[in-house]
Amino acid sequence: MIAFERRESAGWIAQAIAYLLAIAAGLLASVVLITITGADVADGLGALWQGAFGDAEAIGQSLAAAIPLVFTGLATVVAFRAGIWNIGQEGQVFAGAMAGYWMSLQLAGAPAIVAVPAVVLASVAGGAAVAALCAVLKTRFDVNEIISTMMLNYIIVYLLSYLLAGGPWIEAGSTAYHQTPLIADTFRLPELFGLHLGAPLALLATAAVALVIGRTPLGFELRGLGFNPVALRYKGVRVATTIVMAMAISGALSALAGVSEVFGINFRLRAEVLNGLGYTGIIVGMIGALNPWGTLVAALAFGAMANGALYMSVLTDVPSALVPAMQGILLLFVLGAAVLTRYRLRFGRKDGRHG
């Protein structure tokens, strides 16, 4: 029998040790997975490392792969810190990319100084609107946000599929299926030091989320909501409004992931380039301990893993799918480890005092 005693607060050393143990256990489990494929473990992990950090180009690609994960990770942080289970990052990424693309069609021919901000704003509005819709469904109609955000993921993915496959956005005269034509130069995110505008934006967003959560009245309410909504209500905080605000911000952040992939890297809208960014963002945010800077670090690690996986799958027999499996395993171990920091576990009989 295990008894749980709530700890008042765990020391940061205990937290760090629990964390490191979880990550070590996750890596060990990944090694087991590689063994299953029959591949050489050292070769596999070596290739993964090489692909992620082998040379300057690899590092650049790893950073680029991390950018959207920073945004979706931060989207997770904002919602989960408020105790709102937004798992619609996937759909909100798509919605953001679609709204941005729509804006680029409306402003065809506009100079970059107008075009780029307009696209970013439109996409942010699109992502925020989808997320806010789920918040209203929750506060007004008592629809569980996990369900509504998840279902909207499917709906939005199909909507894009319609727009691209035979729909209005298909590339005329192209044999390529399911993608838009290339986006005009003026709409592309400008490049800085070999990375697109998304990189500084991601850093800025991390700082901004940290600032909002830590330093503003809204962030204050948001954190309070995650801890004790009852006490907030007793002190006159409008809980429903706070939920809508948190969701809108979360959706807006996810949308930026869509913008950076479509307008910063691929220059056309295709579902494949957006797939999984939202779901991975949930893992990134949770492994980042729902802390903006921790999330940044986790996103960098996950971006490197995703980038290295391609290289690994080419060089060895280990499929690139190792990476999502590894990430899932890491997440569960980190979740389990978090318990150790919240409770002090006592092993033994139910009640020692019985005679």
Which DSSP category does 87 fall into? Answer: -
Q: How far is the CB of 196 from other proteins (least distance, A)?
A: 27
Site for other proteins in 295-314 (CB under 8 A): none
DSSP label of 171: P
Pick the stretch among 3-11, 177-185, 245-253, 296-304 that binds other proteins (CB under 8 A).
3-11
Among residues 17, 3, 19, which one has the least CA distance to residue 333? 19
Minimum CB–partner distance for residue 195 and other proteins (Å): 27
Token code pair at residue 5? 């005693």
Instruction: Give min distance, CB of 20 to other proteins, in A.
Output: 19
**Smallest separation, CB 135 to other proteins (Å):** 13
Cβ distance to other proteins smaller for residue 59 or 159? 159
Single-letter amino acid code for the residue at 221: E
* CA separation, residue 349 to residues 5, 76, 353, 354 (Å): 14, 39, 10, 10
Longest dimension (CA), the chain: 86
Which residue in the set 49, 53, 102, 220 belongs to the binding site for other proteins (CB under 8 A)? 220
- Contact region for other proteins (CB under 8 A) — 113-121, 175-183, 295-303, 318-326? 318-326
- With CB under 8 A as the contact rule, the residue among 114, 203, 240, 321 that binds other proteins is 321
200-227 burial: b if 16+ Cβ within 10 Å, else e: ebbeebbeebbebbeeeebbbbbebbbe
Residue 180 is given by DSSP the state P
For other proteins, the binding residue among 11, 32, 42, 167 (CB under 8 A) is 167
Least Å distance, CB 61 to other proteins, is: 21
From the CB of 194, what's the least distance to other proteins, in Å? Answer: 30
> 108 or 339: whose CB is closer to other proteins?
339
| Residue 317 is a binding residue for other proteins (CB under 8 A) | yes
Q: Which of 10, 46, 181, 223 binds other proteins (CB under 8 A)?
A: 223
Which contacts qualify for 300-304: CB closer than 8 Å, 24 or more apart? 300/62, 300/63, 300/66, 300/70, 302/66, 302/69, 302/327, 303/62, 303/63, 303/64, 303/65, 303/66, 303/67, 303/69, 304/52, 304/53, 304/62, 304/65, 304/66
Residues between 180 and 199 that touch other proteins (CB under 8 A): none
Taking CB under 8 A as the rule, does residue 352 contact other proteins? Answer: no
Which of 100, 224, 251, 308 is close enough to bind other proteins by CB under 8 A? 224
Out of 28, 192, 238, 314, which residue is the one contacting other proteins (CB under 8 A)? 238
Residues between 239 and 298 that touch other proteins (CB under 8 A): 279, 282-283, 286
Residue closer to other proteins (CB basis): 47 or 116? 47
Residue pair 251/129 in contact (Cβ under 8 Å)? The answer is: yes
Site for other proteins in 64-103 (CB under 8 A): 85, 87
Selected binder of other proteins within 14, 110, 118, 159 (CB under 8 A): 159
Dist CA 224 CA 243 (whole Å): 11
Q: Is 353 in the site for other proteins (CB under 8 A)?
A: yes
Q: Which stretch binds other proteins (CB under 8 A): 52-60, 196-204, 224-232, 246-254?
A: 224-232
Q: Please, are residues 297 and 74 in contact by the beta-carbon 8 Å criterion?
A: no
Planar angle of CA 237, 242, 243, nearest 5 degrees: 130
> For residue 243, how many C-alpha atoms fall within 13 Å in the half-sphere facing its CB?
21
Mark residues 327-346: x for contact with other proteins by CB under 8 A, - for none.
Answer: xxx-xx--xx-xx---x---
What tokens appear for 228 in the block? 């004790």
